[in-house]
């Protein structure tokens, strides 16, 4: 991959793709392991030629993308960052990087810009204020937290043609912060629908195999899952818990497992690729995601791993938090608990284990829900409809 913009883009121009409108997707880091949902969205677009611009390219083997431009760093980057941090400000994208984005827009005749994450849009406000190409900004959950100031949010709303959100609950948060209702559009991130490995009562006749897959951060409630497992063991259940993922709280969570005396029944896999994670869904009967809002206002949109587990035909347990109740109806296609509490989670897991036929029915309805509403194809069609709307404004 080249840092030279003309060399990176030129081979694509001769491939017969120029007849489609050109979209510039800006994602500051392309791509962190936990951002598979962004990759699925970027690669799923078919009615636009999609150039991705990034400041940091990571995991290129896991997330290959042909039409990718990594912006060159300014030689004054350290001074630029130090100055703004000294002033207590968010560090904006440098003038050099903004100029590179301008050159891409001009040389490739870009028709539309999609900025991923509100906090990154805040860093691009100076550029958004002067760029002539229409801009869309998508919010995903954490980027609506208190780290985004009211002034920054107001400016994003001013310059964006449309503001995308991943769940209705996130829409309500955006409205509360002052987003114009007429600019808000739904943008759920779907999952591929893979062949089904049916759930059977055999999954509940031996050890309870429980899976949680996510980034290891506070809002995911992993400590709640660990303590619920301890309560299940105290009730006489055999439990095998798999935690798939990684993140800043890994060591603290491993300490919780030691303190609760459940180290022997917890398996830590690290981040998994799609194929490996699909295998984990297939071998586990239950998927849990006891999400919660943090003190800083960090919250979920709709957890992608939860939707993936539903698509895999697994029985899911979540909290009545953020967008989760928009997907999971308690007792119909999964189970919900009112709050991220170990006792509540353990009790629901006992109920699932004691009524496997109900669990199988819920798992079947869970898959049907995702097929009907949250497939990758359906969600990309919805996103492209937003793009077309923005172009017509």
pLDDT band, very low/low/confident/very high, at 11 (cuts 50, 70, 90): very low
- Assess if residue 16 is contained within a domain: yes
Q: Is the pLDDT of residue 77 over 80?
A: no
What mean pLDDT comes out for the span 186-204? 90
Q: Are residues 181 and 320 in the same domain?
A: no
Q: Is the pLDDT of residue 83 over 90?
A: no
Q: Are residues 45 and 126 in the same domain?
A: yes
Q: Are residues 161 and 217 in the same domain?
A: no
What is the DSSP secondary structure assignment for residue 19, as one 8-state letter? T
Contact 13/111 with Cβ under 8 angstroms?
A: no
Separation in Å, CA 82 to CA 75, 91, 119, 133, 337: 13, 9, 19, 31, 45
Q: Are residues 115 and 212 in the same domain?
A: no
Q: Are residues 50 and 60 in the same domain?
A: yes
Domain containing residue 230? 201-373
* Percentage with pLDDT > 90 across the chain: 84
Q: Are residues 386 and 369 in the same domain?
A: no
Rounded CA-CA distance 183/114 in Å is 14
- Assess if residue 260 is contained within a domain: yes
Q: How far is CA 120 from the centre of its chain?
A: 15
pLDDT digits (tens, 9 = 90+) for 157-168: 999 999 999 999
38 contacts: CB under 8 Å, gap ≥ 6: 27, 31, 116, 189
For the chain, the farthest-separated pair of C-alpha atoms sits apart, in whole angstroms, at 66
- Assess if residue 196 is contained within a domain: no
Q: Is the pLDDT of residue 10 over 60?
A: no
pLDDT of residue 18: 55
* Percentage with pLDDT > 70 across the chain: 95
Which of these, 218, 228, 293, lies nearest to 252 by C-alpha position?
A: 218
pTM score, two decimals?
A: 0.86
pLDDT of residue 93: 93
How many domains does the chain divide into? 2
Neighbours of 226 (CB within 10 A): 22
pLDDT digits (tens, 9 = 90+) for 343-366: 999 999 999 999 999 999 999 999
Q: Are residues 235 and 283 in the same domain?
A: yes
Q: Are residues 175 and 218 in the same domain?
A: no
Contact 287/333 with Cβ under 8 angstroms?
A: no
Q: Give me the CATH number covering residue 276.
A: 3.40.50.2000
Q: Are residues 146 and 271 in the same domain?
A: no
- Assess if residue 235 is contained within a domain: yes
Contact 121/149 with Cβ under 8 angstroms?
A: no
């Amino acid at each position: 991959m080249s840092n030279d913009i003309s060399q990176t883009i030129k081979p694509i121009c001769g491939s017969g793709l120029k007849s489609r409108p050109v979209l510039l997707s800006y994602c500051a880091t392309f791509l962190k392991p936990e951002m598979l949902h962004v990759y699925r969205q970027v690669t799923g677009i078919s009615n636009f030629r999609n150039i991705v611009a990034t400041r940091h390219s990571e995991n290129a083997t896991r997330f290959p993308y042909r039409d990718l431009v990594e912006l060159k760093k300014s030689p004054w980057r350290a001074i630029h960052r130090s100055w703004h941090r000294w002033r207590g400000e968010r560090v904006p994208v440098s003038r050099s990087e903004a100029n590179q984005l301008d050159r891409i827009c001009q040389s490739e005749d870009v028709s539309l810009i999609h900025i991923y994450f509100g906090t990154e849009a805040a860093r691009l406000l100076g550029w958004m204020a002067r760029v002539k190409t229409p801009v869309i900004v998508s919010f995903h959950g954490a980027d609506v937290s208190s780290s985004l100031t009211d002034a920054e949010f107001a400016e994003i709303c001013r310059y964006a043609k449309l503001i995308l959100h991943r769940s209705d609950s996130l829409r309500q948060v955006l409205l509360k912060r002052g987003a114009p209702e007429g600019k808000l559009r739904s943008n759920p991130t779907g999952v591929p629908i893979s062949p089904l490995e049916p759930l059977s009562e055999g999954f509940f006749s031996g050890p309870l195999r429980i899976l949680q897959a996510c980034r290891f951060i506070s809002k995911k409630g992993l400590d709640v899952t660990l303590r619920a497992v301890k309560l299940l063991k105290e009730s006489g259940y055999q439990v095998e818990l798999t935690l798939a993922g990684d993140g800043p709280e890994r060591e603290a969570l491993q300490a919780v497992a030691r303190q609760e005396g459940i180290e022997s029944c917890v398996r830590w896999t690290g981040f998994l690729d799609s194929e490996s994670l699909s295998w984990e869904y297939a071998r586990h009967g239950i998927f849990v995601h006891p999400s919660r809002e943090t003190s800083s206002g960090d919250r979920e949109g709709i957890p992608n791993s939860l939707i993936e587990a539903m698509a895999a035909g697994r029985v899911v347990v979540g909290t009545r938090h953020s967008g989760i109740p928009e997907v999971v109806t308690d007792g119909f296609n999964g189970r919900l608990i009112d709050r991220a509490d170990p006792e509540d989670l353990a009790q629901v897991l006992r109920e699932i284990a004691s009524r496997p036929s109900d669990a199988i029915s819920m798992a079947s309805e869970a898959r049907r829900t995702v097929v009907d509403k949250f497939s990758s194809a359906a969600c990309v069609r919805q996103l492209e409809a937003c793009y077309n709307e923005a172009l017509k404004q």
